[in-house]
């Protein structure tokens, strides 16, 4: 006989109320619901497996301690993401290093493909690995606020409203910062790795 995993159907607000009433099992449900997403987010900021585990644990410790301050004027997951982003960036600031390791290729940020090469062809795996390396190198050079907003928008696929809630700023600030972040990324890419600048359909690449 196989044990069936029963998914908790209580919504976040109900679980939060129960946690605040002293139900530790309800907190375990919140952790289980979001731990994979938080672990993935933290992994955008460091490749070190132990650091990812430690920072993820720190996020949920902070969540437990701060849950009574949640005002419920935003969604719970964006509030939790704010804790996670602050935890990761604070950690990197303390260590005086700011690497951002992403696994996606540069085309995610600006569309198109490198020089018309077919990524599905024989060179696909090698090209994808090289693109991942280039992306890491370029993003590593961006200021922290630009790297963070690219993570939230391009890799976590969060809406502008959700990003504004996570970063504690206006939607207008999100729009302008994201525009500058993409421009900074493309400028750095053109300067450091011009062969990897995505070409628009029909472009000459000149």
Residues 6+ apart with CB under 8 A from 43: 52, 101
**Model confidence band, residue 64 (pLDDT cutoffs 50, 70, 90):** very high
CATH number, domain of 23, equals 1.10.1740.10
Q: Is residue 57 part of a domain?
A: yes
Residue 67 sits in the same domain as residue 152: no
Residue 186 sits in the same domain as residue 123: yes
Note down the domain range covering 136.
102-200
The pLDDT tens digits of the residues spanning 118-168 come to 444 445 667 677 777 777 777 777 888 898 999 899 888 899 999 999 998
Residues 6+ apart with CB under 8 A from 45: 55, 88, 89, 91, 92, 99, 100, 101, 151
Q: Is residue 188 part of a domain?
A: yes
**Domain count along the chain:** 2
Q: What is the pTM for the complete model shown?
A: 0.70
**Where is the domain boundary, 45, 72, 97?**
97
CATH number, domain of 166, equals 1.10.10.10
Q: What is the pLDDT of residue 125?
A: 66
Q: Is residue 116 part of a domain?
A: yes
Query: What's the CA gap between 134 and 136, in Å, rounded?
Result: 5
Chain position carrying tokens 């890419």: 189
Query: What's the CA gap between 38 and 83, in Å, rounded?
Result: 10
**Model confidence band, residue 108 (pLDDT cutoffs 50, 70, 90):** very low
Instruction: Give the phi and the psi of residue 109 in degrees, each rounded to 5.
Output: -80, -25
Q: Is residue 191 part of a domain?
A: yes
Q: Is residue 156 part of a domain?
A: yes
Residue 111 sits in the same domain as residue 167: yes
Q: What is the pLDDT of residue 1?
A: 41
Q: Is residue 4 part of a domain?
A: no
């Amino acid at each position: 006989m196989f044990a069936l995993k029963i998914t908790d159907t209580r919504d976040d607000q109900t679980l939060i109320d129960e946690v605040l009433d002293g139900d530790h099992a309800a907190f375990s449900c919140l952790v289980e619901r979001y731990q994979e997403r938080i672990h993935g987010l933290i992994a955008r900021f460091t490749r070190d497996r132990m650091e990812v585990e430690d920072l993820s644990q720190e996020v949920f410790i902070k969540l437990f301690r701060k849950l009574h301050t949640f005002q419920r004027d935003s969604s719970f997951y964006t509030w939790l993401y704010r804790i996670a982003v602050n935890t990761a960036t604070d950690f990197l600031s303390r260590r005086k290093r700011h690497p951002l390791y992403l696994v996606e290729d540069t085309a995610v940020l600006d569309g198109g493909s490198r020089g018309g090469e077919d990524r599905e062809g024989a060179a696909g795996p090698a090209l994808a690995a090289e693109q991942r390396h280039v992306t890491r190198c370029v993003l590593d050079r961006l200021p922290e606020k630009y790297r963070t907003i690219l993570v939230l928008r391009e890799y976590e696929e969060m809406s502008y409203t959700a990003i504004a809630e996570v970063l504690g700023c206006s939607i207008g600030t999100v729009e302008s910062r994201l525009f500058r972040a993409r421009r900074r990324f493309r400028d750095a890419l053109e300067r450091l790795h011009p062969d990897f600048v995505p070409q628009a359909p029909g472009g000459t690449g000149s």
